[in-house]
Structure 1
């Protein structure tokens, strides 16, 4: 029914799937585990199950408004308040199951609870599918009058007006019901992909140069693609991608079916393209997406310069795609969790006391699950969908600088959530990914600059520069390459061209070559490795990944403004965080001086990237490399 509900549900259902890798059985004995306190949500498992069962009953009650929803301001306010209350309770119920399950993915009971929680969301969508069409039928004049008549509708006003704005894309009651019921079918490709890639592909065994035999599944590929021995890296690439190549046709059919489902939905809702439909939920102009792709393509010389810099540090005569992952600089230093807290606070001083007090509040609470343990979900995330409770942060902290950066990143999300909740009612606190990732990437940039402001050895300075440059390669250029691939395959399908696994490999190979300078002699791209598209789960999330690249661009622009002494930048940034979902994200950022349809944010990112490379080259010359 409401835009903000879509943000909240999307975040709930996607948070761990997007940001975390498959769990690994990581053994650890020290330090002692630091756990979050889930009793802040429910005191006992019995309380959780009782609430889940009650929700199923209460959701059914929402059906009584069908056919009557807009007969008066009072009825609309009653229904809106009741729906908000149920949404809030359902979110709380879901995250309890999700967080508990992520502590040990081997626990079948935990995964069953998560499945039960998801079924509540499914029922909520089915029961309330009539609401949007009925409100659309009432028209803007009637709804605006109702907002004036009943003050209870004021907190729902933004979302009601957003619904009216999308009137031409909302179907009739019967058609909306059909689309709601088709949701499980349309999500079939994601389930098939997940099953095939996690349970059905027989992974090869690889013997490394030291005699170690490795079962080269996805998590082991992630580990061994970064080894320092170049022959081992090539062997890992060759074996891993040869295995994926065997499934090119099947995975091509799976992704093609997903693309067709996006086209079906966009046409059903009368959007010009699948891209327009995908970005409409948060009212982001498709021009943002295209401006990002354009900016990345125009600045590929900087990407190629960075790759040549990596080659120089590695001391290689040539560069191949399997050389992209090993660390080229090392930092023989570890950081305790307390040091991570102190470094994060020190680096975020430009945000001011209000922000830092929120950090202190979070650090003092039992809000984190910190260290790796057997069965725990790997990766990191922040879960903030429990409106009446504090956010929760999952980490797998291993004491390296990258762990400190991840710590700062996730607490950027957490403070964003705290500020949004403090300044908005439930109906408008939840924000889309478009602004969410900006709140975390800005922290990463400031942490890097905080470290670079210190009196460091050449080796340590080069390490932090390399980490910053690598984040631009991975988050700006690589994610934009993904975005360009996703756009191209949708455009091909919309133009009536047939898609297949081999066609997707062809498209992806062209992009790999372009982004990595194959034709310019920067990096050699082996055609076998172009099957990589089949490995990327993000392509099953409907034009999602571009937001990582826009966020690091906007975050860099904010950080550069703050570090240059622009006092207005601090206020602009905090106002974005406090606004939550009460404004459209693109318009909100534009008002704060970050227009992502213009070249300015991307220019700021590339300028910083080039400045860092200038310094790296001076250091390398001084080091005799």
Structure 2
């Protein structure tokens, strides 16, 4: 779990590391495990020796990091001595940051490939300690730069051209002067970095390891232990009674722990509110958005436009009911695929489909991706004790990105492949174009690269579809992707804003009260008042299942990103002059500018209604195509 950016000094926050936050980098919905899995080959697993050939090499680099942090401490009180002294300190900080990123990647990926290996757990714990030591060692930099002041910093930048590399970072620190404490204050806050993550850690332990999962007997006589992985699989059951049984048992178990999860989430919300207050922000949301200098209008416009576009979601839900042959659509009917298909996509086919799909991004992009996807950058198949889901970590600046999948051979696996390699290519392009200090990029931009690749994959598959059944498979998957990544994540964002606002005002929250807030939003989004879908009150404890809430104001970026991706992909496919160059420039820019500015410069303003209206139009177009096929068949 990553700690909130506000729990670290701003200067270390600028290192925004996907390596540390990989648990939240996965796609919103866990990947099903129902399709057959190929026999794993050595080439289907990543090669971590490209990071460190042995743990002895890891230990040696950790020792070098410790020495660097001691050297960094020697600069305390001296940053304003001269431009050369400031540059020397920033150079040392940048190199130490690159080193700790590499250590983080190795530790996290070693653990993810086999969570039962005690060595990986030990490496992860060491990495967490090193992250905290790094934050403490660098805690003096930001307040000391603020003490030097903008006038003197600008003069130093003019005197030493070598300092120009750090202009954006320095300007960002100066921008945050009202929200930065003195050196002693920032040092004190950094000391709490490990302790204040306890709410998320308790949640993770309880939800992953200690809940006594229920066992149900399905209509075919199969007995299923409903842990989280089984739930994501069996909620798709074709038998409606089985789906209700799965939902009732699974959410009934979460309901038993509603009070406890209410306490853990309330603890996280209080922590976020406290850090916001300490740093002189009016509320938690403003504090979280300011980390990336995101205009509040982005969040506000997303929520407003999503609510305005709820008729599109309701149209989809009514279409789902018709295609499933259900008159009284219920929340447990949300996950069965619109079209049942036994078609499989072996990994080799998935790779080829992806490479064909990204052809509109240019021959250089395709060539680079082709080489990368056939190298040992990826751990492809599920195994016992391997981390579930999918993610990409791109922080190994001098090496390459790493991709984790649990590829099962269904179409969703193929879309996840394209999604995660979209992330990986973002890192490849940014690492190539930017120095290490600006190679890392914000989540606000990151999810655009991945969802644009998904949009391109859909376009290509529709062109290649051999019949209406196959076309319906792709269209149905695209609809569910837009629902899950746009409407659902925007709904979660609205809920998150509501509960944070209450705690920011000093109000207490219990698990039951949180369920009531969530239930009201859940029912409104799914049109219960309009008779579109019925939501059983038991299912309103669903909020407790979602780990993203322990990373404040994160989920909204899935929704903004998929909206931007629809616009970027359509422009690129239409060969709009300058569209491809602007898109690739945005990816290559890494974190060298504020993320909202990068996206806007590439042609999409996420503080305006247009991208969200375009997404709704895209969703309606897909439904038009499905209904045309259904009409042709006399349905």
State the TM-score bracket (shorter-chain normalisation): over 0.9
Using the TM superposition, give the Cα deviation of residue 574 of structure 1 relative to its aligned residue in structure 2, in angstroms. Answer: 0.7
* TM-score, structure 1 normalization: 0.97
**For residue 183 of structure 1, what is the aligned residue in structure 2?**
193
Q: Secondary structure at the match of 1:19?
A: coil
* TM-score, structure 2 normalization: 0.95
* 1:16 maps onto 2:26 in alignment: no
**For residue 162 of structure 1, what is the aligned residue in structure 2?**
172
Q: Secondary structure at the match of 1:385?
A: coil
**For residue 533 of structure 1, what is the aligned residue in structure 2?**
543
Q: Secondary structure at the match of 1:171?
A: coil
CA deviations over 1:328-367 (Å, ceiling 9, x no partner): 2133322232322222122112211222222123134221
**For residue 225 of structure 1, what is the aligned residue in structure 2?**
235
Partner Cα separation in structure 1 for residue 551 and residue 174 of structure 2: 26
**For residue 418 of structure 1, what is the aligned residue in structure 2?**
428
Partner Cα separation in structure 2 for residue 28 and residue 598 of structure 1: 43
Using the TM superposition, give the Cα deviation of residue 57 of structure 1 relative to its aligned residue in structure 2, in angstroms. Answer: 2.8
- Segment of structure 1 superposing worse, 504-513 or 180-189: 180-189
Partner Cα separation in structure 1 for residue 458 and residue 34 of structure 2: 31
CA deviations over 1:407-427 (Å, ceiling 9, x no partner): 111111111111111111111
Partner Cα separation in structure 2 for residue 65 and residue 169 of structure 1: 23
Partner Cα separation in structure 2 for residue 292 and residue 384 of structure 1: 28
- Segment of structure 1 superposing worse, 76-85 or 222-231: 222-231
**For residue 612 of structure 2, what is the aligned residue in structure 1?**
602
CA contact (8 A) 1:2 1:163 kept: no
Partner Cα separation in structure 1 for residue 26 and residue 304 of structure 2: 26
Please, what is the CA RMSD of the aligned residues?
2.0
Partner Cα separation in structure 1 for residue 339 and residue 262 of structure 2: 37
**For residue 305 of structure 2, what is the aligned residue in structure 1?**
295
Using the TM superposition, give the Cα deviation of residue 3 of structure 1 relative to its aligned residue in structure 2, in angstroms. Answer: 6.0
**For residue 348 of structure 1, what is the aligned residue in structure 2?**
358
Partner Cα separation in structure 1 for residue 244 and residue 383 of structure 2: 30
CA contact (8 A) 1:452 1:464 kept: yes
* 1:458 maps onto 2:465 in alignment: no
Partner Cα separation in structure 1 for residue 46 and residue 376 of structure 2: 5
Count of residue pairs the alignment pairs up: 625
Partner Cα separation in structure 2 for residue 380 and residue 502 of structure 1: 32
- Segment of structure 1 superposing worse, 279-288 or 363-372: 363-372
* 1:30 maps onto 2:39 in alignment: yes
Q: Secondary structure at the match of 2:224?
A: strand
Using the TM superposition, give the Cα deviation of residue 226 of structure 1 relative to its aligned residue in structure 2, in angstroms. Answer: 1.4
Partner Cα separation in structure 2 for residue 375 and residue 267 of structure 1: 41
CA contact (8 A) 1:25 1:376 kept: no
**For residue 126 of structure 1, what is the aligned residue in structure 2?**
136
Shift in alpha-carbon separation, 1:195–1:407, aligned structure 2, 3 A: same
**For residue 4 of structure 2, what is the aligned residue in structure 1?**
none
CA deviations over 1:449-487 (Å, ceiling 9, x no partner): 111123531111111111111011100000001000000
Using the TM superposition, give the Cα deviation of residue 285 of structure 1 relative to its aligned residue in structure 2, in angstroms. Answer: 0.9
Using the TM superposition, give the Cα deviation of residue 9 of structure 1 relative to its aligned residue in structure 2, in angstroms. Answer: 4.4
**For residue 112 of structure 2, what is the aligned residue in structure 1?**
102
Partner Cα separation in structure 2 for residue 461 and residue 36 of structure 1: 34
Partner Cα separation in structure 1 for residue 172 and residue 505 of structure 2: 30
Using the TM superposition, give the Cα deviation of residue 618 of structure 1 relative to its aligned residue in structure 2, in angstroms. Answer: 1.1
Shift in alpha-carbon separation, 1:16–1:141, aligned structure 2, 3 A: same
Partner Cα separation in structure 2 for residue 558 and residue 267 of structure 1: 38
Using the TM superposition, give the Cα deviation of residue 198 of structure 1 relative to its aligned residue in structure 2, in angstroms. Answer: 2.0
Using the TM superposition, give the Cα deviation of residue 8 of structure 1 relative to its aligned residue in structure 2, in angstroms. Answer: 4.0
Shift in alpha-carbon separation, 1:4–1:569, aligned structure 2, 3 A: farther
Q: Secondary structure at the match of 2:328?
A: coil
Q: Secondary structure at the match of 1:382?
A: strand
Using the TM superposition, give the Cα deviation of residue 27 of structure 1 relative to its aligned residue in structure 2, in angstroms. Answer: 10
* 1:283 maps onto 2:293 in alignment: yes
**For residue 497 of structure 1, what is the aligned residue in structure 2?**
507
Partner Cα separation in structure 1 for residue 567 and residue 611 of structure 2: 6
**For residue 408 of structure 1, what is the aligned residue in structure 2?**
418
Partner Cα separation in structure 2 for residue 332 and residue 498 of structure 1: 50
Partner Cα separation in structure 2 for residue 336 and residue 25 of structure 1: 14
Q: Structure 2 regions of 5+ residues with no counterpart? A: 1-7
Using the TM superposition, give the Cα deviation of residue 25 of structure 1 relative to its aligned residue in structure 2, in angstroms. Answer: 14
**For residue 382 of structure 1, what is the aligned residue in structure 2?**
392
Shift in alpha-carbon separation, 1:75–1:367, aligned structure 2, 3 A: same
CA deviations over 1:373-431 (Å, ceiling 9, x no partner): 22211211111101111111111222222111111111111111111111111111110
Query: 1:267-278 counterparts in 2 under 5 A?
Result: 267-278=277-288
**For residue 595 of structure 2, what is the aligned residue in structure 1?**
585
**For residue 75 of structure 1, what is the aligned residue in structure 2?**
85
**For residue 497 of structure 2, what is the aligned residue in structure 1?**
487
Partner Cα separation in structure 2 for residue 36 and residue 254 of structure 1: 35
